[in-house]
Amino acid sequence: MLKKIVVIGPESTGKSTLCEQLAQHYETAWCPEFAREYLLTNGTNYEFDDLLTIAKGQLAMEDEHTQQLETNSLPMLEAGGHLPLFIDTDMYVMKVWCEFVFNKCHRFILDEILTRQYDLYLLCNTDLPWVKDELREYPDLHTRRKLYQIYKDILINQPVPWVDISGTHEQRLSKAIAATDNIL
């Protein structure tokens, strides 16, 4: 069975790095964040409807990575093996982004939250230093912690297991591997 593991949290908390490290560790694939490429291509002055486009692009990438991994790993999966797919960002992230910036969320995103199924969430904490990037919007620790708490509240109130990922990059990777091993 393919196990979908989503890495979420505020910006600059090591999500993409962790996904890449986990994919290397498990010799599998990871699905990057669609928003990064979209904003680099289209500019950082986004509107509410851009977030719907980004959400749909994220889901299309996730579906593409899922299909490729299932196709490439069919013999192992048919033999009852488990393979993780690490996903950098999901519709919870899109919901938080919409509501935090625009005080509303697209119905499409809310509907996808209800229908998409995942096996584990890894919530990246804000204890890494913020790294400047042309796409990042919230360098202050107060806002980052506020966003982290929003994500934590969401995860507490949904049924999929989740793990708080904090510490150094090495500690984060170890925690994430232990949590992933637990569901495999």
Question: Which residues touch 92 (CB under 8 Å, ≥6 apart)?
Answer: 6, 8, 113, 151, 154, 155
- Domain borders along the chain are 2-183
Dist. CA 167–CA 134, nearest whole Å:
25
pLDDT in tens, 44-97: 899 999 999 999 999 999 999 999 998 887 666 565 667 899 999 999 999 999
At how many degrees (to 10) do helices 48-72 and 34-42 cross? 130
Helical segments of 29-184, H only? 34-42, 48-72, 74-78, 91-102, 107-115, 141-156, 169-183
CB 10 within 8 A of CB 96: no
- State pLDDT tens for residues 88-141: 999 999 999 999 999 999 999 999 999 999 999 999 999 988 877 766 677 788
CATH number, domain 2-183:
3.40.50.300
CA distance 60 to 68: 12
Q: How far apart are CA 28 and CA 134, in angstroms?
A: 29
Single pTM value for the model: 0.93
Q: Nearest Cα to 9, choosing from 155, 109, 178?
A: 155
How would you label 136-160 residue by residue, b for 16+ Cβ within 10 Å and e otherwise?
eeeeeeeebeebbebbeebbeeeee
